[in-house]
Structure 1
Amino acid sequence: MEQHKLPNATLILVFGILSIVTCCCYGILGLIFGIVALVLANKATSIYQENPENYTDYGNVKTGKILAIIGIVLSVLYLMMTIGMIAFFGFEDMQDPEMMREKMEELFG
């Protein structure tokens, strides 16, 4: 029987990598890429588990899923840090580098 590639196996891997790379974009892009990769990986895993001998590239799916989970965790942490900074310093102060430097000097001495 001929083996086929799992659908979206390469896309899952790419989105997993992008979720880590873009986690510092206020956490939003990394979160989106990570969630999409995780959903696609779960679909591909269920397809693979039905007939494992018919498909290849399951390693890409597993790797992409792990990278997506890491990207989601990093994105959530960065998003929480960003929300905390906005709550602590205020949005206007974060836009002005001079004001931000003064606030940081006050905070750390």
Structure 2
Amino acid sequence: MERRELPNSTLILVFGILSILGCCCYGVLGIVFGIIALVMSKRAIELYNANPELYTGYQNVKTGRILAIIGLVLSAFSLISIIISLIIYGGFEGINEMQQEILREYGG
């Protein structure tokens, strides 16, 4: 029986790497890529556990999953620090003014 590569194993690894790099983009891209990598890795792990002798590339899936978790944590910290800095420097009044300006601009 021929062994096949796990579906999307390389893509999971790439998304894990992108989730770490995405934490520099206000954390949003890192969260998106991290969640996608985790969902894809869950499916690949279930597939591998059903028939481990049929598939290769499990190491890529495990590595991508670990990188995705690290990327999610870093992105969450990045996003939370940006929100906290906005509150500290802009204050709650600054946030309220921004909301009112948006409402006036879009006619709300």
TM above 0.5, yes or no, is yes
Instruction: Say how many residue pairs are matched.
Output: 92
TM-score, normalised relative to structure 2 = 0.83
Whole-angstrom distance in 1 between the partners of 2:20 and 2:59: 18
Q: What percentage of residue pairs aligned between the two structures are identical?
A: 59
Read off the aligned partner of 1:47 and give its amino acid letter.
L
- 1:21-76 CA deviation, whole Å, 9 max, x = no partner? 11011110000000000000000000000000000000000000000000000000
Structure 1 residue ranges without an equivalent (≥5): 93-109
TM-score, normalised relative to structure 1 = 0.82
Q: For 1:88-99, what aligned pairs fall within 5 Å after superposition?
A: 88-90=88-90
Read off the aligned partner of 1:19 and give its amino acid letter.
S
Q: For 1:1-109, what aligned pairs fall within 5 Å after superposition?
A: 1-90=1-90
Partner SS for 1:71: helix
Structure 2 residue ranges without an equivalent (≥5): 95-108
- Computed over aligned residues only, the root mean square deviation of the Cα atoms, in angstroms, reads 1.2
* Dislocated runs of 4+, deviation >6 Å: none
Partner SS for 1:90: helix
